[in-house]
Amino acid sequence: MTVSPRLQTLVSWDSDWSGLRVVVTGIGVSGFAAADTLIELGARVVVVDAATSDKAKAHADTLKIVGAADVLLGEDAVTRIPRIDGGLPELIVTSPGWRPDQALLAAAARAHIPVWGDVELAWRVRVREGRKTADWLAITGTNGKTTTVGLTESMLRAGGLKAIAVGNVGTPILDALRDPVEYDVLAVELSSFQLHWSESISPVASVCLNVAEDHVDWHGSYDSYLADKAKVYERTQKACLYNAEQIETERMVENADVVEGCRAVGFTTVTPAVSMLGVVEGLLVDRAFIEERRDSAAELASMTDLGALAPRHMVANALAAAGLVRAYGIEPKAVRQGIQDYVPGDHRIQPVARHNGVLWINDSKATNPHAASASLAAFSNVIWIAGGLSKGVTYDDLVREHAPRLKAVVLIGADSSALADALRRHAPDVPVIGTAPGETEQVQTAATDGTEAGSPDAGKTVMSRAVASAAQLAASGDTVLMAPAAASMDQFSSYAHRGDTFIEAVRELVEGQAQTGEE
């Protein structure tokens, strides 16, 4: 798509944004930040969203108060391009969740109206007269992004820099750019959606942690998903970090158009080759960012610094973060300190309880098969609570790989038929609870007590029954792992809501057994 001459000039906060006609799609966290920023820049803004919730209306009222913005809510608002001052918009800034085939965005493509994401807008306005321009370290991957961006932030801070984790992690980049704190560097978590709508980002260092089938429904195909993930490496200045145990990420680097002199640096959970980071005798080491890398390595941290539960993928995430900050010039001692200082987020292989010899683990963040595989690999004798929105992925490889460690499976989700079918094919001897009415105990339906499917009460009922079923199946030495391998929105408001509901159900179970003296 040909970019208009005016848009080509918009490369800093101080460029002439005044009067630019912009439609912002979405009034959630990123959409609100984009609209608020554009209003501050002097653009003429119209915001559209299908939502009519109280939260959406509150955001709309705020935007109307702070500046020149019209807000259109409801299903009709997102079916066509709104006109601004009698003409078509010059630019559309979209929230990352909006698919390219959504009616308004598809109409924009037909009308040759450029579409940016909020991340692209943030890159364009990052330079501002009188303020420090923060460097970017870019992180993507099917799984592990939030952990890695948090570790990167922690290591940078341990090195004495003003740093913040932003992007898909929760804090919009645009908010950080307008923060009174002038950051030295941003650790930027980028989803495949955000990368799809980006075109000019040039990070100091970048990484794609891993790739696996995910969000095929959004991208249309796995190849399209990979192509968007690969955009993280484009225009990288100093170092492209890749997963040496996954050839796809290495090929992404090989095909990337980077700044002259940019290095390709691998990371691995085994002994590293030259110009890589890896593990030697329980130590995380660097053979990339030292002068004597051909015959020596710099110690960065020990496995014990990662905590009692340090599964393989957590080690990989730590090495990726270390590679990013080492490329930025952070010393090894700050890498170790950053790992020690880092507090893992909830819902990521989170121990919830150990009762009567049974370990209960919440990994609600495992929203796809690749993430669930990492969780399953960390345990044996597993009662697996799984299911939810599949996002168009398949489960055959996941079940085939981990069938030997499964003691039983408890299905949740409004429709977990794809996972149930894979279990029948590849783990026929593993008991499955909740596969279909009449076959086994129906865990996944809340209709029997009058609750409405999809409501908070329904989600609580679903999880309470799943936890109760798992408790009946578990014996001392077993692990009950809630790693759904699917999205949550069919029965819960988010993966965090699903995880919190699991934690609550487990605690109620443990407290109930303690009060009755049940062993």
Binding-site members for ATP are 141-147
Please give the Cα distance from 72 to 93 (Å, whole number). 15
Please give the Cα distance from 314 to 303 (Å, whole number). 10
Is residue 35 within 8 A of residue 27, CB to CB? The reply is yes
Is residue 488 within 8 A of residue 413, CB to CB? The reply is no
Residues contacting 152, CB < 8 A, separation 6+: 137, 139, 163, 165, 187, 321, 324, 325
Q: What is the DSSP letter of 269?
A: S
Please give the Cα distance from 389 to 395 (Å, whole number). 12
Count Cα atoms within 13 angstroms, Cβ side, for 435.
17
Please give the Cα distance from 385 to 498 (Å, whole number). 12
Reading phi first (left if > 0) and then psi (alpha if -120 to 50, else beta), residue 477 is in left
Structure tokens given for 227:
């192509």
Q: Which of 97, 83, 131 is nearest to 29 (CA)?
A: 97
Please give the Cα distance from 510 to 516 (Å, whole number). 10
Structure tokens given for 450:
């009058």
Structure tokens given for 314:
């957590």
Please give the Cα distance from 343 to 482 (Å, whole number). 21
Residues contacting 31, CB < 8 A, separation 6+: 24, 25, 47, 49, 95, 118
Concatenating the DSSP letter of every residue in 21-49 gives EEEEE--SHHHHHHHHHHHHHT-EEEEEE
Beta-bridge partners for 264? 240
Is residue 161 within 8 A of residue 184, CB to CB? The reply is yes
Is residue 42 within 8 A of residue 19, CB to CB? The reply is yes
Q: What is the DSSP letter of 77?
A: G
The CA R_g of the chain, rounded to the nearest whole Å, is 24
Q: Which residue numbers belong to the known binding site? A: 141-147
Structure tokens given for 333:
């001692």
Structure tokens given for 70:
């019209």
Please give the Cα distance from 92 to 102 (Å, whole number). 13
Is residue 483 within 8 A of residue 367, CB to CB? The reply is no
